Structure 1
Amino acid sequence: MTHESLEKNIEISAVRLIKLAEERSWNKISHHMTFIISDCNEFKGENFGEIRKSRWKINRYKIPQPLDQVIGVLKNEYEDLYDVNLYVFKALRKETVIEIQYYRKSNLNPDYFEKIKDNQPMFHSKITLPGYALDGAKFDINRESGGGPRHYWNLFLYEFKYRRMMKKMEK
């Protein structure tokens, strides 16, 4: 990958993400995409749950922009990009807001940095699955940004089943 193909790689990853979201969630996913960009160091927390909450609090105030505007930020950081992850931040009827989250090489352990300093950035399209969707069940893609009653009901049922299963295993 080169500096020039950065935008193309983001576009390909975004299309993959939309496809993945359509397959796994019950939401209607718009193909009109806008983007927000995040440096992974923006988010604070001791565990995944705290980091997720921090991420949501920070990202909800960001103004979604077209791809060509966020590409400028990534091009400025290109030499230091290690990993670029795309997530669905929010799926609305008329647009899907995609978060582009990047990790810097310079933030890595110095020994590991020496191994990867000349590597090209990696690109990933990701969705986080709630526990109840691990078996292939569809879920609310917007659950991290508010969710809805159906998500909370499925979460309640999952917790109930999980606790029953754990009690059976203890016997």
Structure 2
Amino acid sequence: MKEKVTLKQMVEDLLNIAEEMCWNKISKNTTFAITLDNEKEWKPWKEKIKAKRKLLKEITEIPFNNAVAFLKKKKLDIYLIELYILKALKNKTIIEIRIRYKNQLDKTYINNISTELPLKHCKIAIPPYIKNKSQKFDINWEFGSLEYKIQMFLWKRRKNKRQ
């Protein structure tokens, strides 16, 4: 039962963070997509955006209870659980639950954490043109909204003037 409450609280926290940082109306009607974090190295944000757009086309959305059941069943095998807003629509918010399994880690490290419960994080992707924390942005910026295109154009102009 504790796992269900914990995931529920993580979702509430993520939605609250999104409402604070973004100008979009964030729907409390949520669906979930469980993905595997298999990134072994850092990637430029443009590559991450392409991967996210592709992911949105390929995912299978599941309800909260199915996500909880999956995580409960695998909790001893999971090292890290990260929640991201994949896409916010008018009537629903799709949340990505990205997991990294313990067996993806270095073998010497696995022995130290074999009995520990997963680490948990909630994250919001921030566009590169954001200057300060009080500046709100479109939560769906990674999908190339008009606002994103305008802001990126202005950001690149400012950046080029400084160089």
Separation in 2, partners of 1:45, 1:17: 25
Aligned pair 1:131/2:128, yes or no? yes
The aligned amino acid for 2:150 is W
Question: 1:6: how far off?
Answer: 1.7
- Report SS of the residue matched to 2:116: coil
Question: 1:37: how far off?
Answer: 0.8
Question: 1:23: how far off?
Answer: 0.7
Match of 1:6 in 2: 3
The aligned amino acid for 1:62 is I
- Report SS of the residue matched to 2:16: helix
Unaligned stretches of 5+ in structure 2?
none
* Aligned residues with identical type, % of pairs: 31
Question: 1:154: how far off?
Answer: 0.8
Cα deviation 1:97-127 (Å, max 9, x = unaligned): 1111111111001122122222211111100
Counterpart pick for 2:119 among 102, 112, 122 = 122
- Report SS of the residue matched to 1:132: coil
Mean Cα deviation higher: 110-119 or 31-40: 110-119
Match of 2:86 in 1: 89
- Aligned residue pairs: how many? 161
**Contact kept in structure 2, 1:45 and 1:51, CA below 8 Å:** no
Q: What value does the CA root-mean-square deviation take over the aligned residues?
A: 1.9
Structure in which a larger fraction of residues adopt helix: 1
**Contact kept in structure 1, 2:15 and 2:28, CA below 8 Å:** yes
- Report SS of the residue matched to 2:35: strand
- Report SS of the residue matched to 1:54: helix
**Contact kept in structure 1, 2:76 and 2:116, CA below 8 Å:** no
Moved over 4 A (4+): 43-46
Unaligned stretches of 5+ in structure 1?
none
Aligned pair 1:36/2:33, yes or no? yes
**Contact kept in structure 2, 1:87 and 1:99, CA below 8 Å:** yes
**Contact kept in structure 2, 1:36 and 1:59, CA below 8 Å:** no
Match of 2:51 in 1: 54
Question: 1:158: how far off?
Answer: 1.3
Match of 2:63 in 1: 66
